[in-house]
A and B are shown apart, each in its own frame.
Chain A
């Protein structure tokens, strides 16, 4: 057990190292950020001063080592454009993104699960066909396009929903949230729904497949034979068993949702980290880009590691079988 976890942790560290190398070297060969700071009257001496100030006169491997050294101490450099530590900016914006992702997750489950269960129970009905078509459309259409159509319909034409920004927030002391104000929820609804579509499609498929499998098992038959009400058979016995794969997939997808939030935040001008990334790319704010990418990769690798370790705890075949069943 300890051996498996150690191996998995080492693997995750290796992936992280490779990703920091890729991201750092990649981002640091694009463009020349000096010109962002230099005014048009800037002469050679002034340019040199800026280069020295940004640490760009050092060889790139030394820049990388400095970067890693600082990163381990929680310092990812200062944003060129904002002049404050990049990590600080990310943590300031992250709650908005997490809130969006969390709301999307809840929506995907609340809407997707009943639809999938229904489609699994009556797979031949018209309702099931409609639900599966919806799932296919939500899965294959570009989500940004659905977002645009929602803005056009509900904001521009009908004027029901706000299309920009986050709305009122409540300060909970450690974090600000818009989940507790009506205006906040009003602003959150469209972006969260759009972001949830892909997850929702997945939940529908998994729930449907799970239901069709579970309903023919012996324990459901026996539960029915025992006179357990149909409501309880579905709501407790069946649901419990189809939830396992759904929770796993959603857990693994969460990193992807954070990454995908970049798209949604751009459309709805949601003030999260994704919008910040796109803005940072536009002005070549290297430290901010690097910090964002590394944070997301870190979050993602950690999440995967946790899922794997949890799984190995639950299922001994995985840790004994060397990872591949």
Chain B
């Protein structure tokens, strides 16, 4: 939040924090999101079992409804899946992978997109035209189509799905950042910096970039929710992550086969978690937009 203070007319960080927290919905969303982060990143220490360690999983315990007890006396609070894995543990590990993919792809896309946007806005002329043509072209293709093509070609893997998500997302950041940077670039403080004969790089990174941060933060939050949702969709199709690294989407897909026989928990529980994460991130983004009031 500290970088936000440099934004003109945005108020102090403490002021912004107070305004952000004055909305109960946003506070709940923040608590939910932080809770999932702790649960996900702490999965190896919190989870009752390591669902991918075959010595800890017993196939005889498969498809047990929530609350069942295993032969060894362990309680499966959220039931087990088709391979006898404890759903609670599988979901904790799933949250971890979904969050890592969402965060990593969002941050990478933000970095690349912001760089492209800043360069386009600063250099203007043919550089701007060429870069924005590419952005237009990228944005004209439906995200799901591009991601599908890339994953068909690349195959499964955490790195591959992050790459695919970065490819479909960077253009949003580039266009937004260019828009804001163009407005900022025309302001007096940039003129003053030029008058002081500061270097182009310094003006771009030291003066224009900080003033683009509020907008970037809002777009990044929204894009992260989209990335998590898209990753889940692709994994559900069997295109995203390998079966050895199941995200929430893959867990839902595994459970889908058992849905018709009434074993709802394998699919529905990870789905509810996915839902909670996406909604909380979206609410956070909404609130950030209201508080930071960027020119989107």
Where the two chains meet, the residues of A that have a C-beta atom closer than 8 Å to any C-beta of B are: 15, 22-23, 26-27, 29-30, 136-137, 140-145, 148-149, 151-152, 155-156, 163, 252-253, 255-256, 259-260, 262-263, 266-267, 277-278, 281-282, 289, 293, 296-297, 300, 304, 324
Contacts and interface: CB of A to CB of B under 8 A. Distances in A.
B153 A27 contact: yes
- Please list the 9 inter-chain residue pairs (A to B) with the smallest Cβ-Cβ separation, ordered nearest first: A256-B142, A26-B153, A259-B145, A142-B229, A259-B142, A140-B282, A259-B144, A145-B271, A144-B236
Given A259-B148, A262-B148, A324 B274 contact: no
A148 B144 contact: no
Contact of A260 (B132, B142, B155, B226): B142
B256 interface: yes
A296 B152 CA distance: 14
A152 B137 contact: no
B239 interface: yes
Contact of B278 (A141, A155, A163, A262): A141
Contacts of B140: 252, 304
11 contacts: A26-B153, A140-B278, A142-B232, A145-B274, A148-B267, A151-B259, A256-B144, A259-B148, A262-B148, A262-B237, A281-B238
Nearest to A18: B137
A151 B267 CA distance: 12
B153 A30 contact: yes
A26 B142 contact: no
A42 to B, nearest CB: 25
B274 A142 contact: yes
B30 interface: no
Contact of A148 (B141, B152, B271): B271
B275 interface: yes
A136 B282 contact: yes
Given A22-B153, A289-B152, 20 more contacts: A22-B149, A29-B153, A30-B153, A30-B155, A140-B282, A141-B279, A142-B230, A143-B233, A145-B252, A148-B252, A148-B256, A152-B264, A156-B264, A163-B260, A255-B145, A262-B148, A262-B237, A293-B149, A297-B145, A324-B132
Contacts of B132: 324
Contacts of B264: 152, 156
B268 A152 contact: yes
Given A152-B259, A156-B262, A278-B238, A140 B225 contact: yes
A324 B129 CA distance: 9
Nearest to B261: A156
A127 B274 CA distance: 27
B274 A293 contact: no
Contacts of B260: 155-156, 163
Nearest to A151: B259
B141 A300 contact: yes
A149 B255 CA distance: 12
Indicate the member of A148, A262, A267 with the most B CB atoms within 10 Å. Answer: A148
A142 B278 contact: yes
A148 B251 CA distance: 13
Interface string B239-264: 10000000001001000100110101
B121 to A, nearest CB: 14
B259 A141 contact: no
B144 A262 contact: yes
What secondary structure prevails in chain B residues at the interface with A? helix
Contacts of A324: 132
A27 B152 CA distance: 7
A27 B154 CA distance: 8
B227 to A, nearest CB: 11
B148 A149 contact: no
A22 B141 CA distance: 15
Interface in B100-158: 132, 137, 140-145, 148-149, 152-155
A266 B233 CA distance: 11
A263 B145 CA distance: 11
Indicate the member of B148, B271, B274 with the most A CB atoms within 10 Å. Answer: B148
Contacts of B152: 26-27, 30, 281, 289, 293
Contacts of B149: 22-23, 26, 293
Contacts of A136: 282
A134 B184 CA distance: 36
Contacts of A259: 142, 144-145, 148
Contacts of A148: 252, 256, 259, 267-268, 271
B259 A255 contact: no
Given A23-B149, A30-B155, A256-B145, A156 B233 contact: no
A141 B275 contact: yes
A292 to B, nearest CB: 9
A149 B272 CA distance: 10
A300 B233 contact: no
Contacts of A297: 145
A90 B275 CA distance: 35
A325 to B, nearest CB: 12
B282 A144 contact: no
A168 to B, nearest CB: 22
A156 B249 CA distance: 21
Contacts of B238: 278, 281-282
Given A23-B149, A26-B153, A263-B237, A145 B142 contact: no
Contact of B239 (A156, A281, A300): A281
A296 B259 contact: no
B229 A140 contact: yes
B275 A260 contact: no
Contacts of A22: 149, 153
Contacts of B278: 140-142
